[in-house]
């Protein structure tokens, strides 16, 4: 079956295409300063997967759901809140950590993350999570979301064996390159796509710094709008 194209849209936003041709957006903040103009207006969306409720990850989910009616995968509290904001969320509640749901033929599992999660007005939106995306061709991608490194990443590696780990490296709000290097050891992942860096000066970590701390791991540093296949 075909490989899975992964396009970085700046910050922590990604566009994926499943082998069956379904289009998935992860944390679609398409108004971020690094998102190319050509990517700000999606053609179609079949699934939106969210790691947590902060505005730089939820992004334009409500508006996009009204336009495209995608399936939304998000923590149960976050998904309910999105419905209260007018998003099209359907009748099935969101999962919680350890829960797996299938959307557009792709399996999404919420896993642990260490971070906060709230709306701009500080409404509690459940805990932050990572998302393991398992495609029908066997490819598995782990989106860590916003988190520090934590020892149980070894369990994520043991259970899900991700082909690629998508890790934040900017620091300040998340892990930095040094912590991300340890995260890759724990996960056992041989490929990493870094994100959540360079959007603002405060997010100072770089892919080159990550390479210094992640020996033996292929660091796939994409430019915003660039696509790789995994």
60-85 residue pLDDT tens: 999 999 999 999 999 999 999 999 99
C-alpha 139/C-alpha 123 separation (Å) is 35
Residue 215: half-sphere exposure toward Cβ, Cα within 13 Å = 0
Question: What percent of the chain has a predicted confidence (pLDDT) above 90?
Answer: 99
Residue 230 forms part of a structural domain: no
Residue 144 forms part of a structural domain: yes
What CATH number does the domain containing 127 carry? Answer: 3.60.15.10
Residue 66 forms part of a structural domain: yes
**Residue ranges making up the domain that contains 202:** 5-222
C-alpha 138/C-alpha 118 separation (Å) is 33
* Structure confidence at residue 199 as a pLDDT band (50, 70, 90): very high
pTM above 0.75, yes or no: yes
Question: Domain total for the chain?
Answer: 1
Q: Which helix (H) or strand (E) holds 142?
A: strand 140-143
Rg of the chain over all Cα atoms, to the nearest angstrom: 16
147-168 residue pLDDT tens: 999 999 999 999 999 999 999 9
C-alpha 105/C-alpha 118 separation (Å) is 29
pLDDT of residue 1: 57
- DSSP secondary structure, 75-135, as one string: -HHHHHHHHHTT----SSPP--TT-EEEETTEEEEEEE--S--B-TT--B----EEEEEE-
37-55 mean pLDDT: 98
Residue 154 forms part of a structural domain: yes
Residue 229 forms part of a structural domain: no
153 three-state secondary structure: helix
Contact 180, 214 (CB under 8 A): yes
Residue 86 forms part of a structural domain: yes
Residue 111 forms part of a structural domain: yes
What 8-state DSSP symbol labels residue 26?
E
Contact 166, 145 (CB under 8 A): no
Residue 76 forms part of a structural domain: yes
């Amino acid at each position: 079956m075909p490989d899975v194209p992964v396009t970085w849209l700046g910050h922590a936003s990604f566009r994926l295409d499943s082998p069956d041709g379904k289009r998935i957006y992860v944390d679609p903040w398409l108004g971020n300063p690094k998102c190319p103009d050509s990517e700000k207006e999606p053609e179609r969306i079949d699934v939106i997967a969210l790691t947590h409720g902060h505005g730089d990850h939820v992004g334009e989910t409500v508006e996009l759901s009204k336009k495209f009616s995608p399936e939304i995968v998000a923590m149960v509290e976050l998904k309910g809140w999105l419905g209260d904001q007018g998003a099209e969320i359907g009748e099935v509640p969101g999962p919680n950590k350890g829960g797996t749901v299938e959307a557009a033929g792709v399996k999404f599992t919420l896993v642990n993350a260490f971070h906060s999660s709230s709306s701009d007005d500080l409404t509690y939106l459940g805990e932050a999570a990572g998302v393991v995306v398992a495609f029908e061709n066997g490819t598995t991608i782990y989106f860590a979301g916003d988190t520090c490194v934590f020892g149980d990443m070894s369990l994520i590696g043991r259970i899900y064996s991700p082909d690629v780990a998508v890790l934040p490296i900017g620091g300040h709000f998340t892990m930095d390159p040094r912590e991300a290097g340890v995260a890759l050891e724990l996960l056992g992942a041989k490929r990493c796509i870094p994100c959540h860096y360079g959007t603002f000066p405060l997010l100072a970590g770089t892919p080159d710094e990550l390479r210094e701390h992640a020996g033996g791991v292929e660091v796939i540093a994409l430019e915003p709008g660039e696509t790789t296949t995994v």
